[in-house]
Structure formats: structure tokens, C-alpha cells
């Protein structure tokens, strides 16, 4: 667990860990040069429970600190915690029990629930929770992986051998949890979803997803395309992009740096027939002329997404084999 200036929330976090019904755990907490009293709180808790180990970070920033924490760990099963969040008291027991059912080669992942100390939680977080919980309930992690991060940083457990097989926290690439998900996918680890909220996720103005430059463009097209071309792209098959709004245009510009033969479709009558970036936009019905296509859907409207999925399914195209939602 990385700790950086989270003193107002740290006691609640540590107390939620101490209340776990599963007791055979160790917490490796690394203080990342905090300027508040986070270090003193960690030292206090470590002095009262030998399962809590506290160290000061050598390097700055999240991923180097996580790497330090992992080097100090000794457990055979690995989970990550964020120092401003809370665990329901059953979290570790549920994760461990489910992992024991399946063993090595599997990652167990559950659902989340955001909360705020004051005010009202934004609709975006509620929608993200609902989506993540739907993913976990129906084991859709790899089917939806190019849309958003399907396994939050703190809601998984796996064996350390598998963790090291996918190179753990070694790549210093942000968002680190999304990159880790893609490496699970690339190395064919099987995800076992649990239809249960396993993490209470705090929203606050200072969270790094709001403040760091690495998270500003949360579409993460560069990362998505890098792994799409490493894992799923088959250059012998036609590539079709569906969607010609800002997101579609931005994605196509990035794809053109990798290959020039792109087919582009949409349902906007004002754009059909236009030449954008040297590509003539076609009506979505043109999809039928492409044999065994790979389709990247870049449409944000939920109703339109559902309609597009229905259209793709009706013409015999399958998720993961033929199409992916990229946003």
C-alpha cells in the first residue's frame, strides 16, 4: 500500500484492514515522502500489530513505491490497497476463498462502491461502479477491456508467481492498474468475477486521477492501441472504425500512425461521404461488405452503443473476435 499525505483517511483505512474476518494477512505500507502525519500514524499502527510493516520510500511517485512494497512482501497471494479507501470486513476472506477454488493462473476480482465524506457522489462514479459490478457479475472483463479499466487497482487477488509472470509493478506506465489489466489479458490469466462489492472507494478532490497529468485524457487511446496491436490486431483482416465524432477522429489519427488501410463508418448523414484524413466516411451499412472485419466502436451515447451492439450481433459478428468498444 502506497501512502502519500492521506492522514485524514488513513486511520479508517487501517482499521478496516484490522477488522478483516480473514486474519492471515500482512500489510506492507510505504510512506511516499508525506508532509502530513501519515508516517506517524503508520508507525503507531505498526507498533500495535506485527502484521503491519511500515517503511519510508526511497523514490517518489506511485509505481516506484508499489515496487518497494512488493519487494518487502512475503505472502503467496497479492492484493493492493489504497490508503484513503476502506475494505468491507469480508473482503480478503471472499477473495482468498474464491482464489483457492481455482488456483494459479487465475485472478479473482470483485465489485466496488464509491463514497464521499460530504456532499453527493457524482453520477459518473455511480455509473462506473454499476459498470464494474456488471463486469464482475458476468465475467466480461476481457470483452470490455478496451472500453475502460475493468479491474480497479485495489479489487483483485492473484498468486505472486502469476504476478511476477506479468511483470508486476515493474513497468512505470500510468494508469498502472489499467496497464496491469492488459498484461493479465496478454498473458492469458483467467479472470474470475465475484458478484459482490469488495471495496469502498473514496472520491475526493485530491485523488491522483484528478490531479496528475498522466490521467487527464482518460480515454487512454495510446495504451489501448498499443495492446490492441500487440494482442488482437490481425493485419490480414480489414480494420473498421465506427464513429466519427471527436473520439473517432482522435482514434483514427492515432491508428494512421500504425497503418494506412482504415475503413471508417458512421450513422451521421452529415459526415457520410466526407473525406477526413484521406478516408471517405461510409454509412454503417457498408460494414456488410467487409469480410471477417475487426471493428473498433468509438461512440459514447449509451443508447447508440446498445443499438450498435445489436446490429453487430445480428450480422453474426462476435465480441473479442470481431468487435471491441473503445470508449
> Quick one: 236 exposed, middle or buried, by C-beta within 10 A (0-12, 13-18, 19+)?
exposed
Distance CA 221, CA 227 (A): 10
| Cα distance between residue 299 and residue 296, in whole Å | 9
CB 289 within 8 A of CB 265: no
Q: What long-range pairs does 178-186 form, CB within 8 A, spacing at least 24?
A: 178/149, 178/220, 178/223, 179/223, 180/151, 180/153, 181/141, 181/145, 181/149, 181/150, 181/151, 182/145, 182/223, 182/227, 182/231, 184/107, 184/151, 185/142, 185/145, 185/227, 185/231, 186/227, 186/230, 186/231
Given this model, what pLDDT does residue 208 score? Answer: 64
pLDDT value at residue 162: 99
Predicted pLDDT at 120: 74
The residue ranges of every structural domain in the chain are: 2-215, 221-325
Those residues of the chain that have pLDDT short of 50 are none
Instruction: Give the helix/strand (H/E) hosting 304.
Output: helix 302-314
What is the Cα gyration radius of the chain?
22
**Given this structure, which CATH class describes domain 2-215?**
alpha beta
Helix (H) or strand (E) segment spanning residue 297: strand 294-297
- What is the per-residue pLDDT for 25? 99
Check: CATH 3.40.50.720 for 221-325? yes
User: What are the strands, taking DSSP E only, across 101-189?
Assistant: 106-115, 156-159
H or E element, residue 99: helix 91-102
- Return the ∠ at Cα 296 (arms to 169 and 123), rounded to 5°: 70
Tell me what pLDDT residue 122 has: 76
Q: Are 192 and 107 in contact (CB under 8 A)?
A: yes
Identify the pLDDT of residue 218: 86
Contact, 209 vs 215, CB < 8 A?
Answer: yes
CB atoms within 10 A of CB 88: 19
What is the Cα–Cα distance from 111 to 229, expressed in whole angstroms?
29
Q: 244-267 burial, b for 16+ CB within 10 Å, e for fewer?
A: beebbbebbeebeeeeeebbbbbb
Bridge partners for 325 per DSSP: 297
**Model pLDDT, residue 315:** 96
Secondary structure of residue 130 in the 3-state scheme:
helix
Per the DSSP assignment, residues forming a β-bridge with 275 are 280
> What is the pTM for the complete model shown?
0.94
Distance in angstroms (rounded) separating the CA atoms of residues 303 and 317? 19
Report how far residue 195's alpha carbon sits from residue 223's, in angstroms, rounded to the nearest whole number: 28
Amino acid at each position: 500500500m502506497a501512502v502519500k499525505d492521506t492522514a485524514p483517511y488513513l486511520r479508517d483505512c487501517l482499521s478496516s484492514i484490522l477488522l478483516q474476518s480473514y486474519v492471515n494477512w500482512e500489510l506492507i505500507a510505504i510512506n511516499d515522502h508525506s508532509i502530513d502525519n501519515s508516517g506517524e500514524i503508520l508507525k503507531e499502527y505498526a507498533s500495535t500489530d506485527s502484521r503491519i510493516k511500515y517503511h519510508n520510500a526511497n523514490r517518489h511517485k506511485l509505481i516506484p513505491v508499489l515496487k518497494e512494497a512488493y519487494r518487502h512482501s512475503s505472502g503467496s497471494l497479492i492484493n493492493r490497497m489504497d490508503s484513503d479507501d476502506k475494505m468491507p470486513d469480508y473482503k480478503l476472506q471472499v477473495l482468498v476463498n474464491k482464489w483457492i477454488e481455482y488456483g494459479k493462473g487465475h485472478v479473482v476480482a470483485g465489485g466496488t462502491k464509491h463514497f464521499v465524506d460530504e456532499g453527493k457522489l457524482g453520477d459518473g462514479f455511480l455509473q462506473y461502479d454499476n459498470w464494474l459490478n456488471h463486469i464482475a457479475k458476468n465475467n466480461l472483463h476481457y470483452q470490455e477491456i478496451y472500453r475502460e479499466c475493468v479491474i480497479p487497482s485495489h479489487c483483485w487477488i492473484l498468486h505472486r508467481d502469476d504476478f511476477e509472470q506479468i511483470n508486476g509493478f515493474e513497468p512505470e506506465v500510468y494508469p498502472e492498474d489499467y496497464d496491469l489489466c492488459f498484461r493479465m489479458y496478454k498473458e492469458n490469466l483467467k479472470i474470475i468475477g465475484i458478484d459482490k462489492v469488495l471495496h469502498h472507494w473514496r472520491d475526493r478532490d485530491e485523488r491522483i486521477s484528478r490531479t496528475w497529468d498522466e490521467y487527464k485524457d482518460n480515454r487512454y487511446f495510446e495504451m489501448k492501441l498499443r495492446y490492441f496491436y500487440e494482442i488482437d490486431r490481425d493485419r490480414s483482416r480489414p480494420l473498421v472504425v465506427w464513429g466519427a465524432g471527436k473520439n473517432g477522429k482522435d482514434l483514427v489519427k492515432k491508428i494512421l500512425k500504425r497503418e494506412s488501410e482504415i475503413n471508417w463508418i458512421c450513422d451521421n448523414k452529415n459526415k457520410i461521404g466526407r473525406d477526413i484524413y484521406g478516408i471517405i466516411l461510409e454509412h454503417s451499412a457498408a460494414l456488410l461488405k467487409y469480410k471477417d472485419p475487426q471493428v473498433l466502436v468509438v461512440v459514447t451515447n449509451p443508447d447508440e452503443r446498445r443499438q450498435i451492439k445489436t446490429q453487430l450481433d445480428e450480422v453474426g459478428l462476435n465480441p473479442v473476435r470481431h468487435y471491441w468498444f473503445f470508449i
